[in-house]
């Protein structure tokens, strides 16, 4: 039985599953901060995943153009971006303590400055609550799109070179 090759889109789903598993393990089991070193692990998996997609494409399609490599990379990193943005939304909804801790840290910093009233601090807290989720979603969207594009361009340029 001949196995059909896995498409770039399906590889993007596999990469997303690995990223989510890595994120959940580092946050819940290893008790690492979602903003700390665990980001490096997640981004390393993402980069390795996109390189894997492009390398396997090169093996199946030697001599392909830069455009073909970038297209293949795009098909995978756009899926990863979409899934990771959905994951980010769900993750922060299930972990409201992250927002609460960020607000407490911010309030502590503001209070040490000493030039804000209690009303101004309360208003600032309200603003942070309103912008937190859109900010986290946009940061993750931009992060995965830019990094995915960059890796696809670099690897596409490298893999499309003629020997």
The pLDDT value recorded for residue 120 is 82
Residue 76 belongs to what H/E stretch? helix 66-94
Alpha-carbon distance of 137 to 161, in angstroms, equals 36
- Share the mean pLDDT of the chain: 91
Q: Give yes or no for residue 163 having a pLDDT over 70.
A: no
Alpha-carbon distance of 80 to 45, in angstroms, equals 11
What tokens appear for 34 in the block?
A: 């979602």
Residues 6 or more apart whose CB falls under 8 angstroms from that of 144 comprise 46, 77, 80, 81, 84, 85
Give the domain ranges of the chain. Answer: 8-159
Q: Are 77 and 12 in contact (CB under 8 A)?
A: yes
Cα-to-chain-centroid distance, residue 94: 18
Residues 6 or more apart whose CB falls under 8 angstroms from that of 84 comprise 16, 19, 20, 140, 144
Alpha-carbon distance of 95 to 163, in angstroms, equals 51
Alpha-carbon distance of 60 to 57, in angstroms, equals 5
Q: Give yes or no for residue 2 having a pLDDT over 80.
A: no
Rounded to the nearest 10°, the torsion over CA 40, 42, 45, 47 is -70
Q: What is the pLDDT of residues 87-126, one digit of tens each?
A: 999 999 999 999 999 888 888 888 887 777 778 888 888 9
Alpha-carbon distance of 90 to 109, in angstroms, equals 28
Angle at 63 between CA 61 and CA 65, to 5 degrees: 95
Q: What is the pLDDT of residues 47-87, one digit of tens each?
A: 999 999 999 999 998 888 999 999 999 999 999 999 999 99
């Amino acid at each position: 039985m001949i196995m059909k090759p896995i498409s770039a889109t399906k590889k993007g789903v596999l990469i997303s599953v690995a990223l989510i598993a890595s994120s959940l393990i580092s946050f819940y089991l290893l008790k690492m901060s979602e903003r700390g070193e665990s980001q490096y692990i997640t981004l390393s998996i993402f980069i390795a995943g996109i390189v894997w997609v492009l390398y396997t494409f090169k093996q199946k399609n030697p001599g392909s153009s830069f455009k073909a490599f970038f297209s293949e990379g795009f098909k995978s990193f756009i899926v990863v971006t979409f899934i990771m943005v959905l994951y980010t939304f769900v993750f922060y909804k299930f972990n409201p303590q992250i927002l609460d801790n960020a607000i407490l840290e911010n309030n502590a910093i503001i209070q040490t400055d000493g030039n804000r009233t209690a009303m101004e601090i309360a208003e600032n807290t309200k603003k942070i609550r309103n912008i937190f989720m859109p900010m986290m979603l946009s940061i993750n969207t931009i992060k995965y799109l830019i990094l995915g594009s960059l890796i696809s361009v670099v690897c596409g340029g490298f893999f499309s070179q003629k020997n």
